[in-house]
A and B are shown apart, each in its own frame.
Chain A
């Protein structure tokens, strides 16, 4: 029923909205009385994580009231639980749109008649593990990259795998391994739980676009935050940390003899330390030593097969990469809804670990899979081998097995900034929907002037329906060495701490080496060599915002599934998924460590 808005516009005038940020020292009563500008967000609510414009407060109150009345009138708890279970929620900080979303849910349009009602009653809590990326998907083929292509019985496919590549000047273009079977096999139309788990549970109000979203990007605080999780004091090796910091400080002020002495001291201290701290300290000490002695560190771009191998071990050991792939795939899947031809451009192609799960989900899609094209961009292999081609072959085999029409192209590029949109053979957007995906790659461009800007302009030319980005959530690219060092020390300490619960294994050791190489690059390198230039979500969001991208929010369905994925991991109790401004972060306890965000082209004004 209608309600006069004026009822909500006369707060008790004794207590107008408090304007300034809290500083409640001494007599706190003095700080009360400042009324805020109408246009700005309510500052007090902003401090508590809610973005509501003062001018919209009354409307938001009205929506709350409407929802409450509706829920109060609902006789059966079942309807209420649908709102909780089946509705996908987005960005709860934006109260206006969050409430609107629910109000829409409560008055849903009638469902289309062809939907099988049994499909809808499956509980969202059942989770089909087939959709989880990783070993399960690669069950058919060995994880070794040396596996020859010819272990399948269809010789026609083999020929396209091993056909010679045509060489271009700066990139290697691989021939496509085209799937010729287009089976819309009727046996695959059974709707399993995995369909629900990857497909959107609610197709309505999926990605909410409004000018509000751009504002929320800008309002993200720019002061740095140092978030620290310490394991109980006795364990954290204060002397060791002290020596590391002092050494870094000495390096920064170019007092190399002091730095040298401290590096040696760190070595001794590290040996007597236990657990994660010992390992972290050792890597940081080695990196400091390299910096002091100006030893050129192992240049990772020379040996990509090693990098790939290490990354695979890291993938197996802990959930970070799986989370990255899973959440990015979720956003891609949602963006590809209803599209008959889709194209993924992967800036982070190494072993292609992300794609089997997406292909699986597309195969199980209601209405059948789209035609799936994948362009993988990766760095050159040291031994000249065509590893991108091999990856393509494996994916082609999978595509055949799951009856997805598949096309693949690999591009070798030393830097993403070498890419031009024309190389990618884009098709008209009416016929093919494109997703661009980048996992832990964009930060590498920050060492080169104009690098990231070039890549972002290429992405815009591609006109993707979605641009998924996963990056480390930390500020490792500041101008002051000591600050970078300190941030990195905390970041990697937390990361290594999260690995402590993993039983010792080859995988685990290699994972630590993988992280150690990042530490080494971060600490010992400068200029173009320093590629591990991690930045935070707020920094990336500013960059994307000013480059013409708008956020595409990840919702509660992705959050829940990511959380459930984590529960499968040994020691999973410390991992946490957090939602922030429509992005999902995976962290260890209270410290976010990686962030998945999704972007689309901002609407033209």
Chain B
């Protein structure tokens, strides 16, 4: 870790509520235990420590959920979250896939974070976040349990995302009445944001599925260069450059560096996005996230390529601010996301 540890810990403590500090520090501690120097992850301990919740077909706070194996060959599971139905308290199994009954219902295909290596769709932090999204946005959320690094490096997560996009797109019960199409948004935090970008790219290239928008929360991007924010914020707010490097090494193909387009979409090695079919984006950047400069660079890159992008730069937010609803950033972001996915209404 760079810098004076004492100072670092006090600094991070002043910018977030105490329970947030405890939560994110706990994750940081656990993840440090799980990363091995040889690039492998202590997966058994990871699964032991991860707090998981089951799906629940009984509505809680107006949201119910159920799990679907969307691809049996790779055991790809997704968790579907829906607003509770107006009539009757509990949907039976027959009603789980009841057609959405509004003119326009946004469907958010969500990719959880975890730097490509941690968490699952049924992790409590992400189950909670997805439920909140449904509550605020009045949408359906499908959270993809994509395969993780280092056991499943690039491009597995992207492939799984692509399969999930096709699955969502072909669900008749998710089609909005207005045009008999599924109104799909891609969303994700950290590595999930990165996955959302790449799945949108592929959708644009393939041309068959229309992605209406991307929501990227603290998306995970990087590059070989050490940016100013990386140098200044290294180790100060829960994240270190060293751990970022570790995760990129675990995800990227062996021998590749961080100029690989998966890590740095606007590197010289990446292809230009100009002229490509690409959705509008809402990009949320936490000012105290050390990869802030890469995220801002991403936004600039989209703009230069002629794509619509709205930036929410939350100068005082740290990583993980959206995991607890105890700060103004959380609420501002949720409102923006809701406006973004409901723009058609």
Max chain A C-beta neighbours (<10 A), residue from B51, B171, B328:
B51
Indicate whether A24 reaches chain B with its CB closer than 8 angstroms. yes
Of B5, B22, B96, B125, which contacts A64 at CB under 8 A?
B22
Cβ-defined partner of B58 (8 Å) among A77, A223, A238: A223
Q: Which of B28, B48, B58, B136 contacts A579 (CB 8 A)?
A: B48
The residues of B that contact A18 with a CB separation of less than 8 Å are 324-326
> Quick one: closest A residue to B51, CB to CB?
A49
**Chain A residues positioned under 8 Å from B72 (CB to CB):** 231-232
Interface stretch (choices B31-39, B108-116, B186-194): B31-39
Contacts A42-B19, A44-B326, A573-B75 given; does A28 touch B136 at CB 8 Å:
yes
Determine if A93 is an interface residue (Cβ-Cβ < 8 Å).
yes
Q: Hey, which chain B residues are within 8 Å of A578, CB to CB?
A: 47, 52
Contacts of A65 in B (CB 8 A): 9, 25
- Tell me if A169 is interfacial: C-beta within 8 Å of chain B: no
Shortest beta-carbon distance, A41 to chain B, in Å?
10
Convert B110-141 into 0s and 1s, putting 1 for each residue whose CB lies closer than 8 angstroms to a CB of A: 00000000000110110010011001101000
For the complex, give the distance between the alpha carbons of A67 and B323 in Å. Answer: 23
Contact bitstring A23-35, B, C-beta under 8 A = 1, else 0: 1110111011000
Give the distance in Å from the alpha carbon of A84 to the alpha carbon of B79 in the complex.
30
Q: Of B62-70, B176-184, B200-208, B282-290, which stretch is located at the interface?
A: B62-70
Stretch at the interface among A318-326, A340-348, A586-594: A586-594
Give the interface size class of chain A.
35 or more
Residue A385 CB within 8 A of the other chain: no
Contact call A49/B334, Cβ cutoff below 8 A? no
B15, B54, B69, B328 — most chain A CB neighbours (10 Å): B54
Tell me the bound Cα distance from A28 to B134 in angstroms: 13
Evaluate contact between B42 and A24: CB separation under 8 angstroms. no
Q: CA A344 – CA B325 in complex, angstroms?
A: 50
A17 to B323, CA, bound (A): 13
A479 within 8 A of B: no
Of the candidates B52, B79, B93, the one whose C-beta lies within 8 Å of that of A49 is B52
- CB–CB A32/B51 < 8 A: no
**Is B258 on the interface with A (CB-CB < 8 A)?**
no
A549-569 to B contact mask, C-beta < 8 Å, 1/0: 000000010011001100000
> For the complex, what is the distance from the CA of A51 to the CA of B44, rounded to whole Å?
22
Is B32 a contact partner of A71 (Cβ separation < 8 A)? yes
**Other-chain residue from A71, A227, A242 in contact with B54 (beta carbon distance below 8 A):** A227
CB <8 Å contact, A64 and B26? yes
> Beyond A11-B17, A57-B22, A92-B48, is A590–B324 a contact (Cβ under 8 Å)?
no
Task: Find out whether the CB atom of A61 lies under 8 angstroms from the CB atom of B44.
Answer: no
Interface of chain A residues 52 through 68 with chain B (CB within 8 A)? 52, 57-58, 60-61, 64-65, 67-68
Give Cα A576–Cα B44 distance, bound, in whole angstroms.
11
Closest residue on chain A to residue B68 by CB atoms: A230
Question: Considering the complex, which residues of chain A in the window 507-564 have a beta carbon less than 8 Å from any beta carbon of chain B?
Answer: 556, 559-560, 563-564
- Whether B5 contacts A23 by the Cβ 8 Å rule is no
Q: How far is the CB of A418 from chain B (nearest CB, A)?
A: 37
**Closest beta carbon of chain B to A315's beta carbon, Å:** 24
Interface check A117, CB cutoff 8 A: no
Contact of B22 among A52, A226, A227, A592 (CB under 8 A): A52
Q: B6 → chain A, closest Cβ, in Å?
A: 8
Interface string of A476-490 (1 = CB under 8 A from B): 000000000010011
Task: Tell me the smallest distance from the CB of B82 to a CB of chain A, in Å.
Answer: 12
Cβ of A503 to closest chain B Cβ, rounded Å: 16
B57–A228 contact, CB under 8 A?
Answer: yes
CB neighbours (8 Å) of B22 from chain A are: 45, 52, 57, 60-61, 64, 95
> Chain A CB within 10 Å — which of B9, B30, B77 has the most?
B9
- A84-B36, A579-B48 known; 14 other A-B pairs, CB under 8 Å? A8-B13, A21-B61, A31-B325, A32-B325, A61-B22, A92-B48, A225-B54, A227-B57, A228-B66, A230-B93, A486-B93, A563-B47, A574-B75, A592-B54
The 6 closest A-B pairs by CB, nearest first: A49-B51, A227-B54, A560-B44, A49-B124, A226-B57, A18-B326
A-B contact pairs, 17 of them (CB 8 A): A7-B10, A11-B18, A17-B17, A22-B128, A42-B19, A45-B22, A49-B51, A67-B29, A77-B37, A84-B45, A95-B22, A224-B58, A227-B54, A232-B72, A560-B44, A573-B75, A576-B47
Interface residues of B (CB under 8 A from A): 1, 5-6, 9-10, 13-19, 21-23, 25-26, 28-30, 32-34, 36-37, 42, 44-45, 47-49, 51-58, 61-62, 66-72, 75, 77, 79, 90, 92-94, 96-97, 121-122, 124-125, 128, 131-132, 135-136, 138, 171, 323-328, 330-331, 334-335
Q: Which residues of A contact B (CB under 8 A)?
A: 7-9, 11-12, 14-18, 21-25, 27-29, 31-32, 42, 44-45, 47-50, 52, 57-58, 60-61, 64-65, 67-69, 71-72, 77, 80-81, 83-85, 89, 92-93, 95, 223-233, 238, 241-242, 245, 486, 489-490, 556, 559-560, 563-564, 573-574, 576-579, 589-592
